Amino acid sequence: MESIHQPYMVRDLLTHPDAISGLKHTTRRAGLHRLLGTAMLAGLLGAAALTPITTHASPPTHANASERAKSNFAEEALPANARAKRGGNDEWARGRILVTPRAGLPSKALTKILREYGGKPTKIGQSDLYVVELPEYTEEGVIARLARHPHIKFAEFDHYVSPTVIPNDPYYPNGWHLPKIGAPAAWGDSLGSDITIAILDSGVEGDHPDLAAKMVSGWNFFDNNSNTSDVSGHGTRVAGAAAALTNNGIGVAGVARHSQIMPIRITDTSGWGTWSGIANGLVWAADRGVRVANISFVGVSSSLSARNAAQYMKNKNGLVIVAAGNTGNLENYTTTDTMIPVAATTSSDARASWSSYGNYVLLSAPGAGIWTTRDGKSYGASNGTSFSSPITAGVIALMMAANPSMKNTDIEQTLFATAVDLGATGWDPYFGHGRVDAGAAVQAVAATVATPIVDTEPPQVTILEPLSGATVSGLVPVDIEATDNVGVVRTELWVNHTSVAVDTSEPFAFSWDSNGTPNGKANLVVRAFDAAGNSADSNVVEVNVDNDIITVDEDITPPVVQIIDPVAGDVSHNVTITVNASDDSGDAGIALAIYIDGQLLATGTGSTLSTNWNTRPRRVSAGTHTIQAVAQDEAGNTATTSVNVNVVK
């Protein structure tokens, strides 16, 4: 096991009780000793529901008017395009929205917030995203209010998205795009072996002769079952462009000829997908160790939920590739580094006239007259950025297979650096960093196996709110600013010596339940990490906690404890573990501990404890592991709960 995720080791906790903030009373110290001494023998109880929180003060004014909240929607009235008809590409699913709370917000508090609007949340895999079911036709009003809520990171419609297609292998001579991007040269170093490409689309024709041998199990998020058959034909075309069998004497050739295909259906039978389907698919694939995902749909980068899910995959060493769109116009889709939007080029390296362009475009690839697989076990040529993105996904798979130990961010930067510069010198809104060059990209990563790029520069992080000297109570919004030369992948909020929240997606923001901290002075520090493991601490903010004191004549009731993250299922790479607890005698008297397979990982005090579990080291085996949470109140009453997860390597 890795060392305890806090400044004190287990021996310090056992020999120096004051190492945990707030343990000022003898009963509290004794409780911690009993907690650490008996947790290994404690029974594994089922997760218990938490009761609603009581907040003793209104949220700070700054939180209700924060720039972060304003950025979700500029005013109460929603943008006109949000009311467009489905045929206009901007209609949303009725009775459903997407919500992400601030890291650290107790589960019971989120439930209470959403209950006010009749909302019923369902968590998306191991991420911090929720699909919230609402009474139909209330979405606009609820989003307008949640966008200004001080403890909600963002809320957005579940928009529909449309696919970006313009309606010895015998067809290989038709595949002009393969020699154009240098695929034959790349194949000398890599065939994409041991890499799986997730195709988030309309499904894939699994018995197609050029795809059948490549298929691995996927999931259908529209019908919530394992049937990933193609319902519109789009997904089969996309899958073939990325990874159709090659040199098998039939059909067409794909870019990553030995990579596997994971079909993830996110659309209805007419081929329209949703932002919730995209978020679900990305998280599901990432939790199963998939490192490449393709989404050939319009405007994906403009979804906060899709960007959140793409960052989730990127944090697990993966990359997400999306289509730029086929309007032929300047588009103002959100610029992001969480995914790679790809524009389309022709056989003469010109911009395809119908290819969308704008500041969001990061790369370009062939997209005109691309011969690929089609449903009905057939083949044909197709146009659209729908094929530029899977061609790029195939190149990334070749790169990852050529250098399996290379970080995804280094793969990405090499992809950009080796692209053929088209248009204006350097990056431009039509071609991004240039047209993808598989041969140069694969050769570059293959040659750098022994010389990885080293990042030694730590992030910079500052707590913006609350200010030092402030008096706080109840739920407290904590606003921060975190930057890095490459990118921040995780931030942690520490209150005294307890990690109360972990946030892994931008915009980084926390909710601190001050009910779990004794009244008096409390120190807040935020720790930020980048992908290279460099870390830095923020300024220390000292606040005064002033909550109502709860008294109980005789405390014989154990705390209620719940593991919020992760849920039972697959996990990989860095896993956020979050525990919530409450007690009838007050949350500030609770001592918490987290164990992995009986080994202590983290301890703290209060109502929330959150930590990071790195499953990548060899000492963490693939397969089933038990996460256990133990809570003990000041009277010595103890409760435990556990969850089993499957570590995917």
**What is the set of active-site residues?**
201, 234, 386
Q: State the amino acid at position 631 in one-letter form.
A: A
Q: 460: Cβ–Cβ under 8 A, 6 or more apart, which residues? A: 482, 483, 484, 528, 536
Tokens of 382: 């197709």
Tokens of 106: 């107790």
Buried b (16+ CB within 10 A) or exposed e, 217-228: ebbbbbeeeeeb
CA distance 265 to 221: 6
Cβ-count burial of 86 within 10 angstroms (0-12 exposed, 13-18 middle, 19+ buried)? middle
124 touches 84 (CB < 8 A)? no
Tokens of 217: 């199990």
Element (H, E) at 14: helix 10-15
Query: Cα–chain-centroid distance for residue 381?
Result: 34
283 touches 266 (CB < 8 A)? no
Partners of 648 in beta bridges: none
Tokens of 435: 């047209």
Q: Which is it for strands 591-596 and 623-632: parallel, antiparallel or unpaired? A: antiparallel
Closest-CA residue to 580 (of 437, 475, 463): 475
What separation in angstroms does the CA of 547 have from each of 78, 223, 472, 519, 634?
37, 47, 8, 6, 18
Tokens of 68: 């972060």
Q: Which residue has the tokens 């002033």?
A: 546
Q: Which residue has the tokens 């990982």?
A: 601
What separation in angstroms does the CA of 69 have from each of 146, 155, 391, 607, 649?
9, 10, 37, 26, 38
C-alpha torsion sign, points 550, 552, 555, 560: negative
Tokens of 107: 């589960």
State phi, psi for 173 to the nearest 5 degrees.
-60, -25
CA distance 233 to 433: 31
C-alpha torsion sign, points 240, 241, 247, 249: positive
Radius of gyration of the chain (CA): 25
333 touches 359 (CB < 8 A)? no
282 touches 264 (CB < 8 A)? no
C-alpha torsion 282→283→286→290, nearest 10:
-30
21 touches 496 (CB < 8 A)? yes
Element (H, E) at 446: helix 438-446
Tokens of 485: 């030369």
21 touches 497 (CB < 8 A)? yes
Partners of 379 in beta bridges: 373
